[in-house]
C-alpha cells in the first residue's frame, strides 16, 4: 500500500519540496476562504472612523483603511472572491478550450483553420481593452469579470489541446484503432482525451493566479466588483490612494497575490515535472 502511494501522483508530489510548499499555500488559501467568517477578528463591513488609518496592532493585525475597516478581515473575505472567480472562470474557459481544441485537432482541415483563426484573434485582443468595453456594456460584478476571463483565456487552452491532439492523431495506436474500425468518438474519449489532460491541468494550475490577478486588476481600476466589496484589488486601490499615510495597506493587499501566484505557479511546475514522461526520465 505504501509503495503504491509513493508511486502515485500525490505521493510523488509530496516527495517534492517545491510541490509541498505550493500545496501548503493553496491549502491555506482554501482554509481561509472557507473559514473567513470564523478567523476574521472584526466585521469586514464595520466602519469605525475613530480608528481610520490605524497601524498594525494586536487589535487590527494589518491596520485599518480610510473608513476604519479592518484590513485583515477584508483580505480574508476577499480570498473567497479570488478563489470563486478563479475556479469558475478557469473551469468554464478550460472546458470550452478542451472541447474546441479536440474538435480542431481531430476534425477536418477547414474547421481546424477556422477555430485556429478564432483562437489567434481572441489572444491578440488586449484583456484590459476588452474589460473596459464590457464594463461599459455590463453592470459591475463578478459575472462581468468571469465573462472577460473566459473570452480572453479559453483560446489558450484550445491551442494547447489542439497541438496535443494533432500530435496524437497520427500516432501508431490511433492508426491501429482506426484500422480496426473504431469510431471517432471512441478514439477521442478513450485515447486522445486521457493523453491531453496532463498538459491541460498543468496550464489550468498556472492560469489560476493569472485569473486572480485579472480580477484584482479590474477591481483596482474600478471596473470589477462593486464598491465596498472586499476584493484584494479594492484593498490595493485603497492602499494606493493613501500610500503616503498608510503604506501597510498596499503591502498587505499585495502579499496574498504574491503568495497565491507563487503557490499555483510552483504547483504547475511540479505537475509538469511529474506528468511529462521526458522530464520524469531525466530526473
CB 33 within 8 A of CB 83: yes
Q: Give the model confidence (pLDDT) of 208-247 as tens digits.
A: 999 999 899 888 988 888 888 899 999 999 889 888 878 8
For residues 231 and 141, give the distance between their C-alpha atoms in angstroms, rounded to a whole number.
11
DSSP structure string for 220-249: HHTSSSPTT---HHHHHHHHHHTTTT-HHH
- Residue 4's pLDDT is 62
What tens digit of pLDDT does each residue of 42-53 get? Answer: 999 889 888 888
Q: Which fold has domain 84-282?
A: MetI-like fold (1.10.3720)
Given a contact cutoff of 8 angstroms between Cβ atoms, the answer to whether 55 and 248 are in contact is: yes
Interval 126-138 mean pLDDT: 78
- According to the model, what pLDDT value does residue 3 have? 60
Q: In the chain, what are the domain boundaries?
A: 84-282
Return the pLDDT at 276. 67
Q: What percent of the chain has pLDDT over 70?
A: 95
Q: What confidence tens digit (pLDDT) does each residue in 65-104 have?
A: 988 999 999 999 999 999 999 999 999 999 999 999 999 9
Taking a C-beta distance cutoff of 8 angstroms, is the pair 145, 85 a contact? yes
**How much is the pLDDT for 92?**
96
Instruction: Kindly report, residue by residue over 134-172, the tens digit of the pLDDT.
Output: 777 888 888 888 998 898 889 999 999 999 888 888 777
Which has the closest alpha carbon to 210: 50, 90, 51?
90
Amino acid at each position: 500500500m505504501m509503495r503504491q502511494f509513493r508511486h502515485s501522483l500525490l505521493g510523488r508530489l509530496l516527495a517534492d519540496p517545491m510541490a509541498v510548499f505550493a500545496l501548503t499555500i493553496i491549502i491555506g488559501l482554501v482554509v481561509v476562504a472557507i473559514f473567513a467568517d470564523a478567523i476574521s477578528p472584526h466585521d469586514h463591513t464595520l466602519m469605525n472612523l475613530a480608528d481610520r488609518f490605524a497601524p498594525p496592532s494586536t487589535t487590527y493585525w494589518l491596520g485599518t483603511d480610510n473608513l476604519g475597516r479592518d484590513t485583515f478581515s477584508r483580505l480574508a473575505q476577499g480570498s473567497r472572491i479570488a478563489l470563486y472567480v478563479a475556479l469558475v472562470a478557469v473551469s468554464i474557459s478550460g472546458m470550452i478550450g478542451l472541447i474546441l481544441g479536440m474538435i480542431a485537432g481531430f476534425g477536418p482541415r477547414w474547421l481546424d483553420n477556422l477555430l485556429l483563426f478564432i483562437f489567434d484573434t481572441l489572444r491578440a485582443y488586449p484583456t484590459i481593452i476588452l474589460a473596459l468595453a464590457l464594463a461599459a456594456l455590463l453592470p459591475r460584478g463578478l459575472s462581468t469579470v468571469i465573462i472577460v476571463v473566459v473570452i480572453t483565456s479559453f483560446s489558450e487552452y484550445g491551442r494547447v489541446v489542439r497541438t496535443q491532439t494533432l500530435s496524437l492523431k497520427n500516432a501508431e495506436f490511433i492508426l491501429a484503432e482506426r484500422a480496426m474500425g473504431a469510431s471517432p468518438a471512441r478514439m477521442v474519449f478513450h485515447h486522445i482525451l486521457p493523453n491531453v489532460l496532463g498538459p491541460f491541468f498543468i496550464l489550468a494550475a498556472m492560469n489560476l493566479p493569472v485569473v486572480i490577478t485579472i480580477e484584482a486588476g479590474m477591481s483596482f481600476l474600478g471596473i470589477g466588483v462593486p464598491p465596498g466589496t472586499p476584493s484584494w484589488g479594492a484593498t490595493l486601490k485603497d492602499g494606493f490612494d493613501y500610500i503616503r499615510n498608510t503604506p501597510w495597506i498596499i503591502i498587505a493587499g499585495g502579499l496574498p497575490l504574491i503568495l497565491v501566484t507563487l503557490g499555483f505557479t510552483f504547483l504547475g511546475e511540479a505537475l509538469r515535472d511529474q506528468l511529462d514522461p521526458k522530464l520524469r526520465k531525466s530526473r
